[in-house]
Structure 1
Amino acid sequence: MSNSTILTILDNLEKLHRSLLRLAYDKTALLKSGDMEGLDQLLKDEQAHLAAISQMDLSRQTAVANYLKDQGRSVPLNPTVANILDAAPEVERQSLEEARDRLLHAIHDLKGQNDLNQKLTYQSLQFVNLSLDMIRPQMESVTYSKNEIAGTKNSSGERSFDSKA
């Protein structure tokens, strides 16, 4: 297995993550506009992207494991690009590091956008709950306590239990 295969896989992973980032930007716009039908379709597109990324990541792990085997090195349980950087020649190491850094940058951007979308979703949920609380009538207590029947109420400062007794 050559480094060119691993580089191709890393480039494809970066493209998929950049595409998912564009979907995350679209999701932000949909959340702001409140377009639930568009959001539903976008979530389906996201699921397809995530499945492709998962499949591509399995290919990356396989390619890294094969490269390490070809170099006569031990293969860890979850092989990463960092595992092959020591085994790769200097010329290939630089291109692998650049591809890895581009992918990590895309993942970092995606994480930031997803955090924003999560906050927007939470705020929307808070607004919906607040609106429902304002519309929905408040339930009054249908039972009476012993003191309310007798016509007295405990104030918040009075205790009903005497700890000195």
Structure 2
Amino acid sequence: MSITNIIATLEKLEKMHKSLLELAIAKTEHIKQGDMEKFDQMIKNEQAHVAAINTLEQQRQSMVTDYLRAKGIALTDIPTVADVIDAASTTESADATEALIGVRERLMKVLETLKNQNDLNQKMVFNSLQMIHITLDAMRPRQQEQFNYSGADVRGQSDISKKSFTEFKA
């Protein structure tokens, strides 16, 4: 397994995450405008992106595992790009190692920005839902006490129980 294949896969992952970030930014605008149809479409587009990213991530994990095994490195956990960087620093050219470090850092920046944008979207949606609940509560009529057929309170609190024995007429 070549380190250039890993770099190419990381670059594809970076590209897909940038595209996902663009969708998240567009989703923010649709939330602000209250356009739920376009918001729903953005979610569907995101799901397609996430599926493609998952496929690329599986390829990346497989390539990293193959690379580290080829270098004779025992794997204890899920292998990471940082493990490849450590292994490549002793066996690969400095240019290849720097390219790997560069694409990893760019990908991490995009992931951090995407995380922040998704957090913002989540807060905005939560706030919108709170406003909807407040509006519905304000529009909903107050619940009145429940009465039985005679007009007395269900809990047994009636006018009869409040009268003393001497107040009743025969």
After TM superposition, the score normalised by the length of structure 2 is 0.83
Q: CA 1:141–1:81 in structure 2 vs 1: closer, same or farther (change >3 Å)?
A: same
What is the CA–CA distance in structure 2 between the aligned matches of 1:78 and 1:48, rounded to whole Å? 25
Shift of 1:142: 1.1
Counterpart residue type for residue 69 of structure 2:
K
Counterpart residue type for residue 40 of structure 1:
D
Partner of 1:116: 120
What is the CA–CA distance in structure 2 between the aligned matches of 1:113 and 1:86, rounded to whole Å? 31
Counterpart residue type for residue 97 of structure 2:
R
CA RMSD, 1 decimal: 1.6
Partner of 1:138: 142
What is the CA–CA distance in structure 1 between the aligned matches of 2:20 and 2:58, rounded to whole Å? 18
Identity of aligned residues (%): 42
Shift of 1:148: 7.0
What is the CA–CA distance in structure 1 between the aligned matches of 2:85 and 2:26, rounded to whole Å? 36
Partner of 2:106: 102
Q: Structure 1 stretches (4+) deviating beyond 3 angstroms?
A: 143-151
Shift of 1:93: 2.0
Shift of 1:85: 1.3
Shift of 1:39: 0.9
Per-residue Cα deviation, 1:90-119 (whole angstroms, up to 9, x for no partner) = 512221111110000000000000010001
Aligned pair count?
151
What is the CA–CA distance in structure 2 between the aligned matches of 1:76 and 1:29, rounded to whole Å? 44
Which of 114, 129, 144 does residue 133 from structure 2 map onto?
129
Deviates further, 52-61 or 67-76? 67-76
What is the CA–CA distance in structure 1 between the aligned matches of 2:142 and 2:57, rounded to whole Å? 52
Shift of 1:15: 0.5
Gaps of 5+ in 1: 152-165
Q: CA 1:114–1:148 in structure 2 vs 1: closer, same or farther (change >3 Å)?
A: farther
Counterpart residue type for residue 61 of structure 1:
Q
Partner of 1:72: 72
Per-residue Cα deviation, 1:47-104 (whole angstroms, up to 9, x for no partner) = 0000011110000000001101111111344111011112103512221111110000
